[in-house]
Amino acid sequence: MSDGRPELAAAQREHWQDTYRVHPKMYGSGPSEPALYAADVFAAEGVGRILELAAGHGRDTLFFAHRGFTVVATDFSDVAAAQIGRVAQAQGVAARVEATVHDMRNPLPLGPGSIDAVFAHMALCMALSTKEIHAIVDEVGRVLKAGGKFIYTVRHTGDAHYGIGHCHGDDIFECGGFAVHFFDHELVERLAAGWILDDVHDFEEGDLPRRLWRVTATKPN
């Protein structure tokens, strides 16, 4: 899936590895607002098995597991994946959590239609090219069952950090060591080609605050 930013990808992986080592609970221990929303949507759909992309230190993964879902949690950081496994064991939900080291730029290690729902909080807006993002969404569509929900969030071009810091091109800007691909609405619409676009919700998160879209899409039957 990669299309020419290997140095940026490697640098970001090391940056996140170091971040998780130093700040293992950098986003807190409670679930994100999008995870609260997603859990209700997934429960209403009778979802059993969730794929979470770029799960980080696992606050949403663990929340989903406590809600009774089985979660395949992926992240390109082995530090993060190991932490998820340890905390899941300590909290008594290890049987419902599979933490896997996986770079989203590579094909998912899952079979076609093997996942009931997919959740990705700020995963697609990492240091990924537009081409790579399209390939990731194609992979999500491959592993998601027909009629399954894909809920993701991305920082958008209305965010205060858009255009700030070092520009890597393709609407990717690096500030404070973190590279972000900021989405415009046209990109959301292009990614929805072949999907049913249920909802695009604008919201804020954090102290900056970050400006994000929460996108809900359904894979057609």
pLDDT value of residue 24: 65
| pTM strictly above 0.95 | no
Distance CA 122, CA 128 (A): 11
What phi, psi does 11 have (nearest 5°)? -65, -40
pLDDT value of residue 120: 98
What phi, psi does 174 have (nearest 5°)? -110, 125
Please give the structure tokens belonging to residue 154.
């991305």
DSSP line for 13-71: HHHHHHHHHH-TTTT-SSPPHHHHHHHHHHHHTT--EEEESS-TT-HHHHHHHHTT-EE
Domains of the chain: 29-166+182-219 (3.40.50.150)
**CA dihedral over 54, 59, 62, 64, signed as positive or negative:** negative
**Of residues 203, 148, 206, 152, the one with CA closest to residue 181:** 152
* 221 class by beta-carbon count within 10 Å (0-12 exposed, 13-18 middle, 19+ buried): exposed
Please give the structure tokens belonging to residue 200.
């695009």
**Of residues 86, 77, 71, the one with CA closest to residue 18:** 77
pLDDT value of residue 177: 86
pLDDT value of residue 10: 79
What phi, psi does 17 have (nearest 5°)? -55, -50
- Print pLDDT tens along the chain (221 aa): 445 577 877 777 776 677 776 666 666 679 999 999 999 999 999 999 999 999 998 999 999 999 999 999 999 889 999 999 999 999 999 999 999 999 999 999 999 999 999 999 999 999 999 999 999 999 999 999 999 999 999 999 999 999 999 999 999 999 988 899 999 999 999 999 999 999 999 999 998 899 999 999 999 99
